[in-house]
Amino acid sequence: MEFQKETQVTPMESAKKASSSLVKMVVFLVLYIGISAGIQYVMTLFNLLPYFKYVNAVLVLAFGWYIVLYFAEFVYWTMRSKYDHPTAVAFKNMMRIIGIVAIIAAVVGAAVGGIGGLTIGGFLGIVVGFAVQQVTGQAVAGIFILAAKPFKVGDHVNILGEDGIVEDIGAMFTKIRKQDNSIVLIPSSSIIGNKIYLLIQKLTGQ
């Protein structure tokens, strides 16, 4: 679910949309619990309970995605009342990544069942977590940059030896246009912990 870029959002608008997202998330959570309990009861009556773990895995996958989606939306609108669109989107995307990892671990755990399911699900969650570690690290660094605002779009900067005008600040990369009109994308994690030079005079011809 994508969000329209807004120059300004009032606290009342943010609170209203955040509440709506929270309600939708709770609705899907309640639906999952109710449907899961109902299917388990029916399968118990027909002696099909051993197969319930496979059905439950499908339910976790289906409902889990919407729960994560609306939770990310809730985080977005909660942050949107205090921060601008790019910062709020960075938080939203990070919540989605964490949620997807949790869904994968939960689906495997539900499919296997028992202690083995918990073990395999937890192990898979760790493996997937390591796989997205770099992406998550980039996103977290981008959030810090967007929140701290050491520079803004239009500033003439020198970052990691790259001299140019900041054209865009995202969760993953900062986009800089150099004097020769070439574009440099600097990873957010590389910016954190390094010197940032804010140059007073902008490049000519911009």
Contact yes or no for 52/37 (Cβ under 8 A): no
pLDDT at position 136 is 63
Q: Which of 16-25, 69-78, 88-97, 110-119 is the least confident region?
A: 110-119
- pLDDT score of 118 more than 80: no
> What Rg value do the Cα atoms of the chain yield, rounded?
22
Contacts with 118 (C-beta within 8 Å, 6 or more apart), sequence order: 109
First and final C-alpha spacing in the chain: 35
Q: Average the pLDDT over 25-48 and give the result.
A: 93
Its pTM stands at 0.63
pLDDT at position 126 is 57
pLDDT at position 21 is 92
pLDDT at position 105 is 75
What six digits make up the tokens of 167? 């054209």
Q: Which of 14-18, 130-134, 157-161, 167-171 is the least confident region?
A: 130-134
Kindly state the percentage of the chain with pLDDT values over 70. Answer: 78
- pLDDT score of 184 more than 90: yes
pLDDT at position 197 is 92
Other CB atoms within 10 Å distance of the CB of residue 49 = 13
- pLDDT score of 1 more than 60: no
Q: Mean of the per-residue pLDDT values for the chain? A: 80
pLDDT at position 141 is 79
Q: Which of 19-23, 92-96, 110-114, 185-189 is the least confident region?
A: 110-114
User: Which of the four pLDDT bands, split at 50, 70 and 90, describes residue 164?
Assistant: very high
Q: Average the pLDDT over 164-187 and give the result.
A: 89
Contacts with 87 (C-beta within 8 Å, 6 or more apart), sequence order: 79, 143, 146, 147
Q: Where does 62-155 show beta strands of DSSP type E? A: none
Q: Average the pLDDT over 157-186 and give the result.
A: 90
pLDDT at position 38 is 95
pLDDT at position 117 is 47
Q: What is the CATH number of domain 156-199?
A: 2.30.30.60
